[in-house]
Chains A and B, each alone.
Chain A
Amino acid sequence: METLWFVLVALMVAMYVLLDGFDLGAGALHPFVARNDRERRMVLRAIGPVWDGNEVWLIAAGGTLFFAFPVLYASGFSGFYLPLIIVLWLLMIRGLSIELRGHVDNPMWGSFWDASFFVGSALLTVFYGAALGNVVRGVPLNEDGYFFQPLWTDFSPFSSTPGILDWYTVLIGLLAFTTLVAHGANYLAVKTEGDLNARARLYSRAAWLATAALTVLATPATFWVNPDLLEGLNQRPYGYVLPLIAIAGLAGMGYFNLTLRDRGAFLSSSAYIVGMLTSTVFAVYPNVLPAVNAANSLTIYNASSSAYSQGVGLVWWSIGMVLAAVYFIVIYRLFRGKVRLEDEGY
């Protein structure tokens, strides 16, 4: 049961990154890919009807995490106090930027929200990557299962008290940034035509190259900061299929980009994201939050809620997710196709 919930929460997080990832990427990219007010509005229109639903996955994943692993929720959220609240602020700024930009027809109003949309989106991708980096590296949990980490200390690879942002987590943050920019560019390429489409492809290629380079750098760094991960994979070698998905996704991103097939490129970047995330959590399992002192690590056993709780949760969760899937399919179908500004009503 704990393992099942571990998988379900991981899937919800992956779903969130996959969906909100492309609108974050689009946000980080839009000042470059869209050259004028009209093109920027098209970018916003491409994500307008769906970004809010995408972000609900974060809230739903957070709620499910709290419910399935309350101890992890309590330790993790209080330990990452400052970065989490900063993430909240960025989410708020970004949500307001998307929703409020269209309310006033004034170029200064538009520029202001474009800038805050860009800053919020770009920083969020880096923070998400850094969060993942921290989980991988392990945190200084005490024997009560709590920790508190400063935002940064000295960035040194040999520091005994690394901050939440250090050389490794920032590296992962940058990887997340380039990955989501590529993902967002692929989404925009699917949703647009003409100049905008051509520029989105160009940025997708650049981001793909950067992602490939950073992946090569980040992989050995990861095994260096937490050698247990490699061991976790070696003990259950069937898990190697997950990094293979990631590698295939990475290859596909380049191939489909060069052959100008946008949909294929978008699916490939999706595969890459899912592959990377699932490889990581697979290797971390059965820990949910590894500690620097391994005896204090939070695992699926000591962090989870009661069996009864997880049992009833499974029933309503399944119903809720089926409903959510129905809404999503309906909404994406209703608003499918390329965006144009001229047709009224959408």
Chain B
Amino acid sequence: MDDALLVSRMQFAFTVTYHYLFPMLTMGLALLIFVLKSIYMRNGDERYNESARFWGKIFAVTFVMGVVTGIPMEFQFGTNWAAFSRFTGDVIAQTLAMEGAFAFFLESAFVGLFLWGERRFGQRLHWFSSLMVFLGTWASGYFIIATNSWLQNPVGYRVLDNGNIQLEDYWAVLLNPWMFAQYAHNMGGAVVCGAFAMAGLGAFYLLAQKHEEHGRIFVKVGVVAGVLASVWMLFPSGHFSSEQVANEQPVALAAMEGQFKTEGPAGIVLVGQPDVENRRIDNPIVVPRALSYLVYQNWNAEVRGLDAFPEKNWPDNIPLLYYSYHVMVGLGTIFIAILSLAAFLLWRGRLYGARWMLWILMLAVPFPFIANTAGWFTAELGRQPWLAYGLFRTSEGVSPLVSSGSVLFTLIGFAGMYLIMGLLYVVLMVREVNHGPGQEDEMLLSPDTRTV
């Protein structure tokens, strides 16, 4: 039985991690495409329209991957986590079902219109559909974050005599206080992703001396959006996110920081390897008193370590949680540095000639994907050992009659399919990038429009 739990957790972790690589890009790009299209509507510069169309194609392939890998997520609540679905269904199914009713219909209608309708229905409707695609993808993000926020911080429910729970206050769930900072942080992360992708590809075109006019637009829009979003990730969204973890999930914070002992003042560990058996950090580099200040704005405050909490409530994978958190924060800091420098060069008019900076922008593209993934690992591993924080343990949630062998079968199947899909995605991306913007504008999305 424990095996089925482990394999189900691995399957969920694998499928959701893989899935989220795509939405983090589409949600960021949706905003940037809308920006490009809006600039074109204002100034009539055809290059912006071509840029919007080009990124629309990148968006389209990524969106398909996101949809296709997203369907298993909704199914898995039922297939692998039946006990959890039964226990929490009265609450969390609200937001999940609302995503279908409000976001998916909207997206499916307007993505099609955006990709297929420009020539036939004109510029205004095309601009409007880019706006609706942006709203749809961000609404989708909202419903998922609202669901996750309830798991992080259950609100608006009532416990019945038989131990089950019931929804008591619908608006409390939709406006969960936890949701605001998490949503702001998550969507900011998506914009950082989209911005780095755009700036990085623009930098590639400039370095390779191909499509340079469009490359400059990509770099400019990407760097400006990126610098705003990366600062937003630190403050306010990152600051308030960590504050609510400190207040509501102090044991998760202690594990994230690698703080085994309660102490005051507490330093912050920048580098080091957690040794959980011996309750210490090996090879630490510590900034004294910094953690006390960051959490309580007081250089001498006492910070509770893991020893202040019963071990059965400790997150069950402390090293991975610790590394995820450190990778997220470390990369976030580096992003601010890179993008501030790039923005400064852009302002001085020297960015397009600064080859070293273009190289950095180009090579940086994968890292926001890693940082976003690490951020989700931090949120989800920090929530352990609970599925719904303080209410329902992960170990109780698995489907009672599904054997570990069945789950391993499907996990292997998913791994194989996702490998092939990943390869296809890379092939198609390389083709799009080589093809470039502003060529003959055939709509490349599926049932194609090329003449015979």
Contact = CB atoms under 8 A, between A and B. Distances in A.
Q: Decide if A and B are genuine partners.
A: yes
Interface stretch (A40-48, A214-222, A229-237, A247-255): A40-48
A51 B177 CA distance: 38
B105 A102 contact: no
Contact of B166 (A146, A308, A341): A308
B100 A305 contact: no
> For the side of the interface on B, what is the size category?
35 or more
Contact of A323 (B102, B402, B409, B445): B102
Contacts of B72: 85, 88, 92
A230 B388 CA distance: 44
A62 B102 contact: no
Interface in A13-34: none
Given A56-B104, A74-B86, A323-B105, A313 B64 contact: no
Contacts of A316: 98, 101-102
B117 A334 contact: yes
B421 A96 contact: yes
B121 A334 contact: yes
B106 interface: yes
Contacts of B102: 316, 320, 323
- Chain A interface helix/strand/loop/mixed: helix
Contact of B447 (A45, A55, A334): A45
B307 interface: no
29 contacts: A44-B446, A55-B108, A56-B104, A59-B100, A62-B75, A63-B74, A63-B97, A63-B99, A66-B78, A67-B89, A74-B85, A74-B86, A85-B413, A88-B71, A88-B72, A96-B421, A100-B64, A100-B428, A101-B447, A103-B428, A103-B445, A146-B399, A148-B401, A308-B166, A308-B170, A323-B106, A327-B106, A334-B113, A344-B449
B109 A327 contact: yes
B120 A345 contact: yes
B446 A99 contact: yes
B96 A67 contact: yes
A345 B119 contact: yes
Contact of A147 (B64, B401, B413): B401
B68 interface: yes
Contacts of A342: 451-452
Nearest to A97: B446
A111 interface: no
B46 interface: no
Contact of B105 (A53, A77, A92, A147): A53
A91 B71 contact: yes
A200 interface: no
Contacts of A92: 68-69, 71-72, 417, 421
Interface string A171-200: 000000000000000000000000000000
B167 interface: yes
A66 B451 contact: no
Contacts of B82: 74-75, 77-78, 146
B168 interface: yes
A143 interface: no
Given A327-B109, A341-B452, A346-B116, 20 more contacts: A49-B112, A59-B104, A60-B101, A60-B104, A64-B101, A77-B77, A78-B82, A80-B79, A81-B410, A84-B79, A91-B71, A96-B64, A96-B68, A100-B428, A103-B445, A146-B401, A308-B166, A334-B120, A344-B451, A345-B120
B104 A71 contact: no
Q: What 9 A-B pairs have minimum CB-CB distances, sorted nearest first? A: A70-B89, A77-B78, A320-B101, A345-B119, A48-B447, A102-B448, A60-B100, A67-B93, A78-B82
Given A60-B105, A346-B116, A78 B68 contact: no
Interface string A306-346: 10110011001101110110011011001100000110111
Contacts of B170: 308, 312
Contacts of B428: 100, 103-104
Contacts of B79: 77-78, 80-81, 84-85
B415 to A, nearest CB: 12
A323 B136 CA distance: 13
A81 B402 contact: yes
Contacts of B417: 89, 92-93
Q: Which of A56, A89, A101, A341 has the most CB of B within 10 A?
A: A56
B167 A320 contact: no
A162 interface: no
B316 interface: no
Interface string B408-424: 01100100010001001
A56 B451 contact: no
Interface of B: 60-61, 64, 67-69, 71-72, 74-75, 77-80, 82-83, 85-86, 89-91, 93-94, 96-102, 104-106, 108-113, 116-121, 166-168, 170, 399-403, 406-407, 409-410, 413, 417, 421, 424, 428, 431, 443-452
Given A56-B100, A66-B89, A321-B101, A102 B446 contact: yes
A95 interface: yes
A70 B93 contact: yes
A76 interface: yes
Contact of B431 (A53, A80, A104, A328): A104
A79 interface: yes
A70 B85 contact: yes
Given A89-B417, A102-B445, A103-B446, A312 B94 contact: yes
B106 A66 contact: no
Nearest to A307: B166
Given A56-B104, A71-B86, A309-B94, A85 B166 contact: no
B102 to A, nearest CB: 5
Given A82-B406, A309-B167, A63 B93 contact: yes
A285 interface: no
A82 B412 CA distance: 13
B287 to A, nearest CB: 46
A320 B98 contact: yes
B94 to A, nearest CB: 6
Nearest to B117: A334
Given A63-B97, A334-B121, A81 B399 contact: yes
A164 interface: no
A324 B102 CA distance: 8
A346 B109 CA distance: 15
A64 B452 contact: no
Contacts of A103: 61, 428, 431, 444-446
A238 to B, nearest CB: 31
Q: Which of B61, B97, B102, B428 has the most CB of A within 10 A?
A: B97
